[in-house]
Amino acid sequence: MDMGPEKVMVIDDEPGVRYFLRRAVTALKLEVVERDTADEGLAALLEGGFAVALVDIHMPGRDGRWLLDRIVESGSDVSVVMVTGQGDVRTAVDCLTRGAANYVTKPVDPEELGQVVIRALEDRRLRVENRAYREDLERLVAERTTQLEAAHGDVQSANLAREAAYRETIYRLSAAAEYRDEETGNHIRRIGLYSHVLAEGMGVDREFLDLILLASPMHDIGKIGIRDSILLKPGRLTPEEFDEMRAHTTIGAGILAESSSQLMQLAEVIALTHHERFEGGGYPAGLSGERIPLAGRIVALADVFDALTSNRVYKSAYPIDKSLHIIRNESPGHFDPTVLGSFESGLDRFLAIRDEFEDPESAGGLRGASRSEPEVLSALRDLEERASSD
């Protein structure tokens, strides 16, 4: 990413101090511009082209704190380093809470100043990169939202053939996120059918059954906003990486938000809440009990069962017996007891779905070798029709 010219501005009312700071910074082969008042410094900084500003805290007229506040309010990417006397460290620390990147004390050590400026440059680069990442993600979310809403509009005016095409589109859009972390398209089909079995066992109405069959495969669509280095990491995630991974719930909800479609509204709820735990401690909101929407409680169990019994980048598939032991005995409080009861009564149907849509890898072949895509879709439609007619 092109960061543009990384110039440094020195703002101090004392010529001797400006000269010293300029020499120390030019030794880093950086271009330096000087100003002797906060007003002149602000005007030059707002014109752009500066990466770091070295700002004296105490100057006649408007001081360095005033200048810092104006820079922060402007939304500028400039990293501000405050320059202060030995006896005024408390004021410098206060500037850190206002948005300064760092501070140095007079008399300034040239080597220390060089290290502080280098860190300030890196801080600025990271902020620029993060801003660009957020803008790209917002653009992507807007594009995906438009696509999904347009697809829903087609469904409202389409005949039965178009409805079938829309259903296939949903699976393929969901698969776009899943394929990034090396899960197959069969995963999203299993999630839809598992969720349908659980919901049916709980006696919900037909409309909810139809909706959850199509909405639940979009549970992880927010993974499209997670970096590949995290999605594809084979080892344990660091706390920081796990925090970013957790964000797929809110990203997914954002992609699906503000739709007039009942299907998309349910998909939004599922994307946001399928990692909540019945007794609390889940994410992103730490909800518990019936504060977690029913669809989120259902998909939570369906997703865990599928994760345990499937190959993932960080583990091999567990045997069925071990998977059932984990769900029944090693995850106290994770699942709604009513949903868990429906799981037990529908276990035979779960295993049949797993066998019907087994991943190619777990069957011993390469991706796509066990079934061609048309055959998979045909088998899916047969299962869905059987589920609807039961």
Is there a single domain that holds both residue 98 and residue 163? Answer: no
Q: Which residue has the higher pLDDT, 132 or 314?
A: 132
Q: What is the CATH number of the domain that holds 75?
A: 3.40.50.2300
Please report whether residue 143 resides in a domain: no
- Tokens 């082969």, residue located: 29
pLDDT tens, 245-292? 999 999 989 988 888 888 889 999 999 999 999 999 899 999 999 999
pLDDT score, position 376:
36
pLDDT score, position 229:
84
Is there a single domain that holds both residue 343 and residue 301? Answer: yes
Please report whether residue 209 resides in a domain: yes
Is there a single domain that holds both residue 251 and residue 379? Answer: yes
- Indicate if the pLDDT at residue 294 is higher than 80: yes
Is there a single domain that holds both residue 171 and residue 29? Answer: no
pLDDT score, position 362:
42
pLDDT tens, 337-352? 999 999 999 999 999 9
Q: From CA 163, how far away is CA 157, in angstroms rounded?
A: 9
Mean pLDDT, residues 215-239: 85
Q: Is 315 helix (H, G, I), strand (E, B) or coil?
A: strand
DSSP-assigned letter for residue 218: G
- Indicate if the pLDDT at residue 159 is higher than 70: no
Judge contact between 294 and 214, C-beta under 8 A.
Answer: no
pLDDT score, position 49:
84
Compute the half-sphere exposure of residue 200: CA atoms within 13 Å on the CB side of its CA.
19
Mean pLDDT, residues 228-257: 87
Is there a single domain that holds both residue 215 and residue 346? Answer: yes
Is there a single domain that holds both residue 217 and residue 364? Answer: yes
Is there a single domain that holds both residue 212 and residue 100? Answer: no
pLDDT tens, 83-133? 987 667 788 888 888 888 888 888 888 999 999 999 988 888 888 887 777
Please report whether residue 270 resides in a domain: yes
- Indicate if the pLDDT at residue 369 is higher than 80: no
pLDDT score, position 237:
85
Judge contact between 328 and 249, C-beta under 8 A.
Answer: no
Q: From CA 3, how far away is CA 26, in angstroms rounded?
A: 19
Mean pLDDT of the chain: 81
pLDDT score, position 235:
77
Is there a single domain that holds both residue 94 and residue 184? Answer: no
Mean pLDDT, residues 233-239: 82
Please report whether residue 132 resides in a domain: no
Is there a single domain that holds both residue 109 and residue 190? Answer: no
Judge contact between 211 and 262, C-beta under 8 A.
Answer: yes
Is there a single domain that holds both residue 220 and residue 309? Answer: yes
**Cα dihedral value 20, 25, 30, 31, nearest 10:** -30
Mean pLDDT, residues 314-336: 86
Mean pLDDT, residues 183-198: 84
Report the range of poorest mean pLDDT among 150-159, 316-325, 328-337: 150-159
Q: Which residue has the higher pLDDT, 368 or 326?
A: 326
Please report whether residue 75 resides in a domain: yes
Is there a single domain that holds both residue 205 and residue 312? Answer: yes
CB count, 10 Å around CB of 196?
Answer: 27
Structural domain range at position 111: 7-127
Of the residues 79, 110, 127, which one is the last residue of a structural domain? 127
Please report whether residue 238 resides in a domain: yes
What string of DSSP letters covers 90-140? HHHHHHHHHT--EEEESSPPHHHHHHHHHHHHHHHHHHHHHHHHHHHHHHH
Please report whether residue 207 resides in a domain: yes
Q: Is 366 helix (H, G, I), strand (E, B) or coil?
A: coil
- Indicate if the pLDDT at residue 223 is higher than 50: yes
pLDDT score, position 390:
42
Of the residues 127, 149, 182, which one is the last residue of a structural domain? 127
pLDDT score, position 166:
55
Number of domains in the chain: 2
Q: What is the CATH number of the domain that holds 231?
A: 1.10.3210.10
Mean pLDDT, residues 33-50: 90
Is there a single domain that holds both residue 118 and residue 184? Answer: no
Please report whether residue 134 resides in a domain: no
pLDDT tens, 23-38? 999 888 889 999 999 9
Of the residues 88, 109, 127, which one is the last residue of a structural domain? 127
pLDDT tens, 327-336? 998 767 899 9
pLDDT band for position 365 (50/70/90)? very low
How far is the CA of 322 from the CAs of 124, 317, 325, 331, in angstroms? Answer: 49, 10, 5, 13
pLDDT band for position 20 (50/70/90)? very high
Task: Give alpha helix (H) positions in the chain.
Answer: 15-26, 38-46, 64-74, 89-98, 110-157, 160-178, 185-201, 206-215, 228-231, 239-246, 248-256, 262-273, 294-308, 320-329, 337-345, 347-356, 373-389
pLDDT score, position 363:
38
- Indicate if the pLDDT at residue 375 is higher than 80: no
Among the listed residues 130, 223, 111, the one whose alpha carbon sits nearest the alpha carbon of residue 175: 223
pLDDT band for position 387 (50/70/90)? very low
Q: Which of 44-48, 109-113, 183-187, 201-205 has the highest mean pLDDT?
A: 201-205
- Tokens 């296939």, residue located: 168
pLDDT score, position 370:
31
Q: From CA 5, how far away is CA 340, in angstroms rounded?
A: 59
